[in-house]
Copies of this chain bind each other. A is one copy, B any other.
Amino acid sequence: MNKYGHMRTIFFCLIFCISYNSNGQTINKTAYDYVNPLIGTQRMGHVFPGATVPFGMVQLSPDTDTLQYEVDGKYNKDVYKYCAGYQYEDKTIVGFSHTHFSGTGHSDLGDFLIMPTQGPIQLNPGTAQNPENGYRSKFSHATEKATPGYYKVDLEDHNITAEMTASARVGVHKYTFHEAGPSHIILDLMHGIYNYEDKNVWTFVQVKDEYTVTGYRQTNGWARNRVVYFALRFSKPISNYGCAKYDKKEVYRGFWGKFDQKTNFPEQAGKQLRMYFDFNMAQDEALEIQMALSSVSPAGALANLGAETSSKNFDQVKADAKKLWDSELAKVTMKGAEDDMVNFYTALYHALLTPIIYQDADGKYKGLDQNIHEAKGFKNYTIFSLWDTYRALHPLFNVIQPKRNNDMIQSMMAHYKQSAMHMLPVWSHYANENWCMIGYHSVSVIADAIMKDVFAGDANAALEACATTARNRKFDGLGYYMDLGYIPEDKSGSSVSKVLEFAYDDWCIHEMAKKLGRYDIMKEFSARINNFKNVFDPAVGFMRPKLADGSFKKEFDPLDTHGQGFIEGNAWNYSLYVPQDVPALITLLGGKAKFEKYLDDLFNNELPDKYFAQTEDITRDGIIGNYVHGNEPSHHVAYLYNWTDSPWKTQEKVRMIIKNQYKNGPDGLSGNDDCGQMSAWYLFTAMGFYPVCPGSDQYQLGSPLVESASIQLENGKTFSIKVKNQGPKNVYVKSITWMGYPWKEKYINHSMIQQGGELVFEMSAKK
């Protein structure tokens, strides 16, 4: 059963150690070496520091706390801190769980927490204040090491060194017990992120043999109806094991009550279970644990274990994970200042975490309709934070990961087919729609891929799915929008944000329909793409909520984020959200000069503190003037100066934002990374171009941060950026050449990237 040991080789260590000198410093740093997964783990970044592979289903990471979310009217605001389970300033680790979102502003997951301990068994986690009262342990950042696919820390209270690595579907633990003696592995099935009393709908465990445990956890959380199956294998036999139930109300026992189910009883079921497994450990002996996940069944998890890791030991899985990261990170080669390289490659790392693979090794997965589906001709992905990621992450994938992005769209189409609402995903994870945020931005992702010829599936079926989604009158004010051309704020809140984003999405549908010759759909949506005009109030010069009677809502504060008809943005920021028709926006705002003044005011007028308290998901640093970078609605805004006579202001602003908002340090992210969107913004911007309007084939040019960058395209070609006279003060673009010829446009096209070539910026300190 234990196959971990016999294939151990020193081979990998030899190969990988040679680039390190005796102080553990790298001599020839690779992209891998620049990545620092701890960036963004403090405050608002909400990323996790643990082990995962690119787009991997398992994110095996330390949880420093979770703080229960109360229901029935009570809401523990601090739970928000723990969207990724980890906060850098914490002093204790509860344990290591297997699933984590990266950078979200709401959360879920945290499945199957494992914690090693020694001494008397403690089955409650204890508190950060009194870790000794539970199984958690103090830790120090001094012993912490986080690299792509690998995490290490010393658990001080138990004198155990914990190491984590992962394959796509398996989390692999290695616990070195520095003291000999009776030791325990706790498997806490009650643990979870954004947890509350009734979140566990059911849990089930079977101890199959002395090495193997299977089971599942079913939750009612942000995903309303989620089941994750597991198969766990220890590297040495369990000597004894047990289970404690913490159900507040005793679950019906029936005739199971005739057994002593507490110790060495191989089948457990209930809502609140904690298992423990005992091992006798020698001094400095390591126990390895492989924990595979599946959405299908325990057998699916076992098969994933067999397909990925069961013939490997920890070091082999770790080496495989590094290889995967090396390969993905190598798709973009960047040179620049040392800190910029750290930020760039860390952003690239964060951009390659989400969406995650969501299918077993054999292609099967559980769908929204609760059926087991098989992904045929594509790989199925989940975790679509689309309100965030349609802006830059999916466009980035169209450049550096087109095959995967195509699979992601096929996954969205599968979601659509399984959806009782007959809708493409809005914010979906683990075969659940969670309906977070607004818009139907799958449409943008699909349009961007179709317009850029990335999508290899049935484009007409995808267009139909987009149109059907956009016709769902039950969805979030959409019925009003279809009938009235706007959404009455008194009927459906955040009405202006919805109208602006619906109108953009409708433009995406319109463009696809045009390209595909579906003039019926084009005509249907042509009436909708100008709906943004219906919520502009020329009297105040802002987008402004209307009421059911057609009048504008009287109380209106364009600086306030709350209750004004917007979401995660105030009227100042959100009024600029017409990426599909900037000229029309400029006209609304009074012409080019007034438009430029509007942008200047946005960046220059400091947001009074009283408004900051209401601004979600970001730190104070996440705001420049009144421009909010930590939330997404403004991500295109700095590039809008390209439509004015002062494109140098775009160059100036993006360099300012990139400098202020992305730092090399645990607190390096000013807002939620949002499944890679913040990082994707950084990557594009650092390379000097940005997709202001996904669904068009244009990228607006800004001011590159890099000295050079080159992208290895999947078509075998290379698209390079070369920057002459780069420097912190040389933020202005003096001239550009493309393939050696002068390039006078303020944008480049996707086809230029696809054909490969070199884009050369010459920089200057002068505007």
Of residues 250 through 283 on chain A, the ones whose CB sits less than 8 Å from some CB of chain B are 250-252, 254-256, 258-260, 264-267, 269
Report which of B72, B258, B269, B297 forms a contact with A250, defined as CB distance below 8 A: B72
Residue numbers in B under 8 Å from A476 (CB-CB): 258-259
Interface pair A421/B369, CB less than 8 Å apart: no
- Chain A interface main SS type: loop
Alpha-carbon gap, A199 to B299, bound state (A): 27
A420 at the interface (CB under 8 A from B): yes
Interface pair B220/A252, CB less than 8 Å apart: yes
Interface pair A224/B371, CB less than 8 Å apart: no
Known: A370-B297, A434-B255. A249 touches B198 (CB 8 A): yes
Alpha-carbon gap, A216 to B201, bound state (A): 14
A484 at the interface (CB under 8 A from B): no
A423-453 interface bits toward B, Cβ cutoff 8 Å, 1 = contact, 0 = none: 0000100000011100000000000000000
A88 at the interface (CB under 8 A from B): no
Known: A201-B202, A420-B207, A474-B265. A298 touches B369 (CB 8 A): yes
Q: From A202, which residue of chain B is reached at the shortest CB distance?
A: B201
A685-725 interface bits toward B, Cβ cutoff 8 Å, 1 = contact, 0 = none: 00000000000000000000000000000000000000000
A218 at the interface (CB under 8 A from B): yes
A389-427 interface bits toward B, Cβ cutoff 8 Å, 1 = contact, 0 = none: 000000000000000000000000000000011000001
Residue numbers in B under 8 Å from A764 (CB-CB): none
Known: A204-B225, A420-B206. A254 touches B434 (CB 8 A): yes
Known: A201-B202, A259-B474. A254 touches B222 (CB 8 A): yes
Interface pair A71/B435, CB less than 8 Å apart: no
Interface pair A256/B435, CB less than 8 Å apart: yes
Residue numbers in B under 8 Å from A214 (CB-CB): 369-370
A208 at the interface (CB under 8 A from B): yes
Alpha-carbon gap, A549 to B222, bound state (A): 58
Interface pair B297/A221, CB less than 8 Å apart: no
Report which of B255, B265, B369 forms a contact with A299, defined as CB distance below 8 A: B369
Alpha-carbon gap, A260 to B479, bound state (A): 13
A3, chain B: closest CB distance, angstroms: 22
Q: What are the nearest 4 A-B pairs in CB distance?
A: A255-B435, A266-B420, A267-B420, A299-B371
Binding site for B on A (CB under 8 A): 71-72, 196, 198-199, 201-202, 204, 206-208, 214, 216, 218, 220-222, 224-225, 229, 249-252, 254-256, 258-260, 264-267, 269, 297-299, 369-372, 420-421, 427, 434-436, 474, 476
